[in-house]
Amino acid sequence: MNSNGKKKAPPRKSPNRTSRPEEILLRQIGLLIHRTLFDLGKPVEWLSFKSGVARSTIREIIAGRSNSRIATLNILARSLGFNDLIDFLNEIKKKQGL
């Protein structure tokens, strides 16, 4: 209770805070982008030029620190040779053995 005799509201979860499963997914997305670039023998700068997405944004995604828009991830997936974002995400799922 506060000084007015009313119950305190429970603390709110920050809307920008990601849950543990979301953090894992973001890292898996970044890892697949990094692995695909490595397999292609291409640097981040190549992906940036091909996709039109800033290098800094791609680096944040690869590091798992960016919760990017679906449209951005779709552009990156297509630039890396996937059919679309669904195909890209299915590759993550396949690597997990799901």
Kindly write down the DSSP assignment for every residue of 23-73, as one continuous string: HHHHHHHHHHHHHHHHHHT--HHHHHHHH---HHHHHHHHTT-----HHHH
Every domain of the chain and the residues it spans: 20-96
Residue 11 has pLDDT above 80, yes or no: no
Q: What is residue 41's predicted lDDT score, i.e. its pLDDT? A: 98
Token reading at 31? 């890892």
Q: Nearest to residue 77, comparing CAs of 60, 95, 66, 61?
A: 61
pLDDT tens by residue, 24-52: 999 999 999 999 999 999 999 999 999 99
pLDDT tens by residue, 48-96: 999 999 999 999 999 999 999 999 999 999 999 999 999 999 999 998 7
Given pLDDT bands bounded at 50, 70 and 90, which one contains residue 9? low
- 20-96 topology per CATH: 434 Repressor (Amino-terminal Domain) (1.10.260)
Half-sphere exposure in the Cβ direction for 39 (13 Å, CA):
8
Q: Nearest to residue 37, comparing CAs of 71, 89, 81, 73?
A: 81
Judged by DSSP in three states, 89 sits in: helix
Given pLDDT bands bounded at 50, 70 and 90, which one contains residue 17? confident
Does pTM surpass 0.85? Answer: no
